[in-house]
Structure 1
């Protein structure tokens, strides 16, 4: 007779009455380790019964990082509520030592940072038992701090919701039944914090007479710095979330002074973080109960939450304040192209979610307004229909196009507010919007030309094409940053950038310069009342020359990578898939599927790529390496002429030296590897034996 009992992994197996199991259990640990020794970090062995979906869905039982249930009910520490902890004497409500107060504040701020990095409120901030009953705290400083935390959470949530550039992995808005809006206004909360500051300041002014009093004085100053930082942080966030543009510009001027004061307080906090209880990390304070809100979580596998260390939380706040300086400098910018460059550069620096949202609220609406787009197109290609002297019918057609372009322009600015991984997904959707915008631009050019009784020219279509090509290049380069491509795929990505994207971008900028020059000549002739030969006085400098120079350098870089990688593949120095498992055409079409709906530039097909690759490969590996070296040399010269990117110039020079060595016949023992340390998109090719 058999009976069911629980197994060691919460499973069920059959066991007979005599205590012998009918199953023969085999330890496969050594067999497993032997089987996976050939796999590198990040590689996955595929099987019909175990694919990517099963690997991502698997939970490693008994591992605290994967099986969060290991930490829920198996701790030696008993879960206690606020009332139980007070009755047991674990939570003092009055006459708290300064070291205890420092530990509570620092620990709560660390949990606030953990919440801002994507964890839930129930598992981070509200694990502090004092926050469950803030009005029960009789200590004045602690009670005001707890109320200020509630107000901070409310203000941060409001700011993030207004910007709306967060994803589920960035931010969890659920409150789990906690009310974040106590009946205290922001101004009253700031006033309460000032009262605590004044009280602590009076205490710190008393001259200490012995060592113990000196220590208490230092701790009092440390608490003062933290209360003042919380007050300034609340003021800064309250300023940044204002939607009224005029009021926002006035307030952001004072915001820089507040940010500087906050950085000074953070420096004091950093120097005194060791004074608080629990700063060594060996034992958590009694007021922090990790499992107190376990019953509030949804009935799924609880997410493992690792609380930030206090030192790391201070670094996070310091970086946030430095980002806020950039946000303040970006105020008042009404140029669409300038806003686009600032937003893109800011996103590449890896800011936190709060800083990204603050920049969105500070400049997104102004940068994508109709007036900003009108000036952007006028400065890019100079359409006559946008000039003040154009007839009303032409201006009406141009305004119709501006109204249509407002949505894609706003999406381009909003794009940089999302995290880097989500930006690539958003770009694929945005390309469909830009495809429709190209049709609208061509129609607007024809309508404006008909109203002005002139030959149609692609003024607005050139502008729409330029931003389409920029979005395409960002989409492809994001794949390198996110490590989506295998090394054997690099060469056709760089080929597409070299042959299609950058060549079209350079041609588009040249066309825009020509349209600007022609429009300037026509305006000069109209003013004179007769047509005349353009002179040096009527000719304007080419405003897009600097951008075109950088694009030429990037094009040469991509050409160098394409030919260098082709030579490495030809020599067998890059690991390629086995022919039976490889369908290069399928991979090629998959990588560029997002471009298939664009009217311009026409998507390149796989046959074009194979024809170009076979033509280059017919010259031999040595000639491929020499040709790639020439591309890198030209890229270095162009970057130097433009006074540009030092890391890119260094990568071009290093690759040039390596390719010259390979062209002489030197072959490394191991395959080369690609170092993306200096640039996320254009690596340095290195030899493992050098």
Structure 2
């Protein structure tokens, strides 16, 4: 049943999907019976293969592996092996939910959340095949070949191109995508837009592929992916200029906003992954949180607001042309995401001000000056962001912008951090149906608010014991102890 389910994953028809779900459900039911009866029958002796020897040689493929240090291969006991298979089936059943993703943005969120759970490579690969067949890697390769097609020859169509077209339409609703009749009246504009979307296939397919890697590998790949998005940003500006000119309107940054949104998400994911993987020292936290607070999350909120405004303009224009008397109340599909971005921005602001206060009170250990150069560390941490728009904030600009806080009273900074955590808490409490992410952030915000309130009141004022940052509740935003 399990192997049958794996074979059906790559098929796109609805009947295969229903059969695959039924097979996985059957596997889950069978695993319950197998787990209950594992204690029956002959039991293996400790540190021995008898009385039921394994039916294969564990080291048979040793010579086929790449040369590495010898690794001891340990076969799991029965109970652990059955638990692992049960969890694998559960992960595959959860991965199947990607088939109900309504748009590309929702699918990306699902991919990132799935990889956060440290799923195995089999379930991560199955997830990618369920969303995009052929696989994202094959799609990226085919897109690269299509980009080299000589002028005049028809380029092959990709399913992923339709996904990206719908993504643009749902995000900013540009007239050249939502109104095919208008596009048809201007073939050069249509061809220009199609060529742009064709060149978008490879970077976005690679982005989906990157989401299938483990977290450490993701960070390396995200840094390389930013170079590809930099080229798309330049081309998006040209597309917007041509589309606006063909429509006879002032310049509207439809495609620029769409690309900027994804660029900012990749930037934020890159910086936050350093916290999750524990790559930053505590004395580096302040400029990481400062960059997220002052720039990246602010720009992301602005991009979402601009996209909402652009989509609204097109809908109003379409309503006027069709003679509609009354516009229906427009839903805001990215209202929750915008709210969560404001929450994250306030969380980062609270950490930044708390860290500066800790530094002023000597509570954070600093590296010895002869072995340290903060400018070099800063440049190294933000180097992958230097090729993109919005432009990187350089170290000398960071010093100029943060200099006033270096002479601030720590109590004022603690109170400022309290306000940020309180604001984050207030925004989170407005969410009517909180998920695990919201619940965890709410716990962190409440706890940190209380801690900073105590510190502002003089608690442990003379202590030089460094604070602890506990990431057990949330992977990116720690509880301050």
TM-score bracket, shorter-length normalisation: 0.7 to 0.9
3-state SS of paired residue (1:273): coil
Match of 2:477 in 1: 682
3-state SS of paired residue (1:537): coil
Give the one of 558, 569, 580 matched to 2:370: 580
Change (3 A) 1:486 1:280: farther
Question: How do 1:181-330 and structure 2 match up within 5 A?
Answer: 232-240=1-9, 242=10, 244-246=11-13, 249-275=14-40, 277=42, 279-285=44-50, 286-287=53-54, 301-330=69-98
3-state SS of paired residue (1:596): helix
Cα deviation, 1:320-378, whole Å, max 9, x if unaligned, reads 11111123332264621222122122112221111111111110249971222111111
Question: How do 1:29-428 and structure 2 match up within 5 A?
Answer: 232-240=1-9, 242=10, 244-246=11-13, 249-275=14-40, 277=42, 279-285=44-50, 286-287=53-54, 301-331=69-99, 333=101, 335-365=103-133, 369-386=160-177, 387-392=179-184, 393=186, 394-428=189-223
C-alpha displacement at 1:282, in angstroms?
A: 3.0
Match of 2:298 in 1: 503
List runs of 5+ in structure 1 lacking aligned partners. Answer: 1-231, 530-534
Residue 516, structure 1, aligned to residue 284, structure 2? no
- CA–CA separation in structure 2 for the residues paired with 1:612 and 1:308: 55
Greater RCO between the two (CA within 8 Å, min separation 6)? 2
Match of 2:428 in 1: 639
8 Å contact kept, 1:364–1:410: no
8 Å contact kept, 1:364–1:413: no
- CA–CA separation in structure 1 for the residues paired with 2:63 and 2:172: 61
- CA–CA separation in structure 1 for the residues paired with 2:457 and 2:117: 40
3-state SS of paired residue (2:16): helix
- CA–CA separation in structure 2 for the residues paired with 1:536 and 1:579: 67
3-state SS of paired residue (1:467): helix
3-state SS of paired residue (2:182): coil
C-alpha displacement at 1:307, in angstroms?
A: 2.5
C-alpha displacement at 1:454, in angstroms?
A: 2.2
8 Å contact kept, 1:336–1:373: yes
Match of 1:629 in 2: 418
Question: How do 1:555-634 and structure 2 match up within 5 A?
Answer: 555-598=345-388, 600-634=389-423
Residue 478, structure 1, aligned to residue 245, structure 2? no
Match of 1:163 in 2: none
Change (3 A) 1:524 1:308: same
- CA–CA separation in structure 2 for the residues paired with 1:296 and 1:495: 48
3-state SS of paired residue (2:421): helix
8 Å contact kept, 2:319–2:327: no
Match of 1:659 in 2: 452
| Higher helix proportion (structure 1 or 2) | 2
- CA–CA separation in structure 2 for the residues paired with 1:588 and 1:649: 30
Match of 1:440 in 2: 235
Change (3 A) 1:642 1:280: farther
C-alpha displacement at 1:614, in angstroms?
A: 2.2
CA RMSD for the aligned pairs?
2.3
C-alpha displacement at 1:440, in angstroms?
A: 1.5
- Using structure 1 for the length normalisation, give the TM-score: 0.61
3-state SS of paired residue (2:387): coil
Change (3 A) 1:563 1:523: same
- CA–CA separation in structure 2 for the residues paired with 1:408 and 1:451: 27
Change (3 A) 1:405 1:277: same
C-alpha displacement at 1:272, in angstroms?
A: 3.0
8 Å contact kept, 1:549–1:642: no
Residue 461, structure 1, aligned to residue 280, structure 2? no
Cα deviation, 1:91-150, whole Å, max 9, x if unaligned, reads xxxxxxxxxxxxxxxxxxxxxxxxxxxxxxxxxxxxxxxxxxxxxxxxxxxxxxxxxxxx
Cα deviation, 1:606-649, whole Å, max 9, x if unaligned, reads 12222233212322111111101110000111111134401101
Larger radius of gyration: 1
- CA–CA separation in structure 1 for the residues paired with 2:75 and 2:66: 20
Cα deviation, 1:535-574, whole Å, max 9, x if unaligned, reads 9736634332221111001000000000101111111111
Change (3 A) 1:560 1:361: same
3-state SS of paired residue (2:469): strand
Cα deviation, 1:429-453, whole Å, max 9, x if unaligned, reads 1111111111121111111122222
Change (3 A) 1:339 1:294: closer
Match of 1:650 in 2: 443
- CA–CA separation in structure 1 for the residues paired with 2:66 and 2:345: 51
Give the one of 323, 335, 343 matched to 1:528: 323
3-state SS of paired residue (1:245): coil
C-alpha displacement at 1:500, in angstroms?
A: 1.2
8 Å contact kept, 1:560–1:627: yes
Match of 1:40 in 2: none
Match of 2:139 in 1: none
Change (3 A) 1:296 1:382: closer
Change (3 A) 1:579 1:236: same
3-state SS of paired residue (1:492): helix
Alignment length (residue pairs):
445
Change (3 A) 1:305 1:447: same
